[in-house]
Amino acid sequence: MSVRIPIGPIHPMLKEPINFVFYVEGETIVDAEPNIGFVHRGIEKLAETKTWFQNLYLLEKVCGICSSSHQGCYAQCAERIFEVEPPERALYIRTLMWELERLHSHLLWLGVIMHEIGFDTLFMYAWRDREKVLDLVEMISGRRVGYSINIIGGVRRDISYDMLVKAVEVANFIAERAEHYEKIILKEETVINRTQGVGYLSKADAIRLNAVGPTVRASGVKRDVRGNMPYGIYDETPFDIVIDDGCDVLARIIVRIREMVVSAEIIKWIAFQIPKSEDIKLKKITPFTKPPENEAVSRVEAPRGELFYYIKSNGSLNPERVKIRTPTLANIASIIHMVKGHYIADIPPIVAGIDPCMSCMDRVIIVDVNKEKKKVMTYDEIRRYSIKWYKNNYKVIKEERR
């Protein structure tokens, strides 16, 4: 049987696959249309053919950066179907890994958004600090990404005293660096010029378009799954929802930096309050246990927003239906609304501002409505174009945005 190989947006020489079509008049954007689905792998159909425990290792590969959130949400939903509660120490370890993942994901995003603006120095510093977090995660779980530590009924590995000491050290270091970055960003004129007033999403629009995650919290709306519908041990930890009233890309940067400080506080609290006990998983749930006939829903706050799982079981060793809704899909409607009226050079910060997990753009098609001309640019070209355009038109923009 012969195999058909198409060469499309997914190709070794391209970055990441998504396709947008923008309609422009001169330099201003009038309308936009997203075109997604290039990384569709049929995971929901595949999950119906594997057993409950094999799905743990399939579903952590949905996303590389928020892999523990996917696995933890699936484990939480499956525990609701099996009607069991994991032991206390397991919940503390699970939450510790979730907060460490939030730290390294926000540091990665900080580097990426600074790279879009052209401030490569901060990109390098942020990714150098991220290495400390990844070294700690490798010590706890055995791998730097794809640290499968959750199972149905608890966690797989225990955590030792040395690892807790190192976790407190890393948390203090990252909190200090995050406050340092906040001071730099609010004083640097290039950063403020490129991000203030860009990508405006008002409070009413954010609620109407059902945005999730730091995107909606930067518009002044207090919505966070950990605060409104606490799961696990979040109703006991020292946790506050972080909001900001700016409604633009600068506010999203400030919200994520402050969330890093809150995560460091939670990690220190866990290291001091973790209960001393021996059991980290339930012995009665094995890879060959059959659940009752049931259906359940579970939500978790991933670094990008609200992650949603729905699972239905029919009493056999395979689940009948697994439904996943990632937070980036919920924010796509907001991108379409946010880009209207902006220049082409503002596209990279706006799209990177919602922290797209499944993609950035790889190929942008710009259709000039007045001249009926089509231009295709790759993502690298549009980033260099936007940095050069802002350098040439600096004074005009400053007057306009005052």
Partner 1 sequence: MSIIDTLRNIYGEKVKATVDKYNEIWIEIPSLLLREVLALLQRNGYDHLSTITGHDDGERIRLIYHLIKFGTKSTEMVNIVTYADRNNPVVPSMINEYPSALVYEREIFDLLGVKFEGHKGLKRLLLPEDVPEDFHPLRKDFKVQE
Partner 2 sequence: MPWGTLLREAIRNLVNKPATVNYPLIQTKVPSGFRGILSFDINKCIGCGTCERVCPTNVIKMIPNEKTRLKKAPRFELSKCVFCGSCVDVCPTKAITFTENYHTAVIRKNELDIIPE
Quick one: which of 72, 82, 78 has its CA closest to 232? 72
Reading the block at residue 91, the tokens are: 């919940």
Stretch that binds partner 2, among 35-43, 86-94, 168-176, 186-194 (CB under 8 A): 186-194
Determine if 139 is a binding residue for partner 2 (CB under 8 A).
Answer: yes
Quick one: which of 77, 74, 128, 67 has its CA closest to 98? 67
Nearest-approach distance from CB 142 to partner 2, in angstroms: 4
Choosing among partner 2, partner 1, none, which partner's interface includes residue 321 (Cβ < 5 to 8 Å by kind)? partner 1
CB 88 within 8 A of CB 275: yes
Determine if 131 is a binding residue for partner 2 (CB under 8 A).
Answer: yes
Q: Which of residues 16-45 bind partner 1 (CB under 8 A)?
A: 36-37, 40, 42, 44-45
Nearest-approach distance from CB 294 to partner 1, in angstroms: 9
Q: Which of residues 210-249 bind partner 2 (CB under 8 A)?
A: none
Choosing among partner 2, partner 1, none, which partner's interface includes residue 329 (Cβ < 5 to 8 Å by kind)? partner 1
Determine if 304 is a binding residue for partner 1 (CB under 8 A).
Answer: no
Quick one: which of 299, 316, 230 has its CA closest to 76? 299
Buried b (16+ CB within 10 A) or exposed e, 129-139: bbebbbebbee
Name the residue nearer to partner 2 (CB basis): 51 or 294.
51
Q: Which of 138, 179, 236, 240 is the binder for partner 2 (CB under 8 A)?
A: 138
Strands 19-25 and 363-368: parallel
Count of CB atoms within 10 A of residue 25's CB? 11
Q: Which of 187, 283, 284, 402 is the binder for partner 2 (CB under 8 A)?
A: 187
Determine if 284 is a binding residue for partner 2 (CB under 8 A).
Answer: no
Q: How far apart are CA 238 and CA 215, in angstroms?
A: 23
Quick one: which of 56, 38, 58 has its CA closest to 46? 58
Determine if 175 is a binding residue for partner 1 (CB under 8 A).
Answer: no
CB 149 within 8 A of CB 156: yes
CB 337 within 8 A of CB 209: yes
Q: Which of 11, 45, 143, 374 is the binder for partner 2 (CB under 8 A)?
A: 143
Determine if 308 is a binding residue for partner 1 (CB under 8 A).
Answer: yes
Determine if 207 is a binding residue for partner 1 (CB under 8 A).
Answer: yes
Name the residue nearer to partner 1 (CB basis): 32 or 274.
32
Determine if 39 is a binding residue for partner 2 (CB under 8 A).
Answer: no
Q: How far apart are CA 1 and CA 57, in angstroms?
A: 30
Angle at 117 between CA 339 and CA 24, to 5 degrees: 30
Determine if 57 is a binding residue for partner 2 (CB under 8 A).
Answer: yes
Q: Which of 124, 186, 297, 369 is the binder for partner 1 (CB under 8 A)?
A: 297
CB 48 within 8 A of CB 26: no
Quick one: which of 150, 143, 119, 129 has its CA closest to 57? 150
How many residues in the shown chain lie near partner 2 by CB under 8 A? 26
Q: Which of 325, 368, 378, 389 is the binder for partner 1 (CB under 8 A)?
A: 325
Choosing among partner 2, partner 1, none, which partner's interface includes residue 310 (Cβ < 5 to 8 Å by kind)? partner 1
Q: How far apart are CA 172 and CA 260, in angstroms?
A: 11
Stretch that binds partner 1, among 57-65, 204-212, 351-359, 373-381 (CB under 8 A): 204-212
Determine if 121 is a binding residue for partner 2 (CB under 8 A).
Answer: yes
Determine if 45 is a binding residue for partner 2 (CB under 8 A).
Answer: no
Q: Which of residues 214-233 bind partner 1 (CB under 8 A)?
A: 222-223, 228-229
Q: Which of residues 84-143 bind partner 1 (CB under 8 A)?
A: none
- Going by the DSSP 8-state scheme, the letter that residue 188 receives in this structure is -
CB 82 within 8 A of CB 287: no
Reading the block at residue 129, the tokens are: 């600090």
Quick one: which of 325, 333, 281 has its CA closest to 304? 325
CB 336 within 8 A of CB 269: no
φ, ψ for residue 257 (rounded to 5)?
-65, -40
The residues binding partner 1 (CB under 8 A) are 36-37, 40, 42, 44-45, 80, 207-210, 222-223, 228-229, 296-297, 299, 306, 308, 310, 312, 320-321, 323, 325, 329-330, 332-333
The residues binding partner 2 (CB under 8 A) are 50, 53-55, 57-58, 61, 121, 125, 128, 131, 138-139, 142-143, 146, 148, 156-157, 183-184, 187-189, 287-288
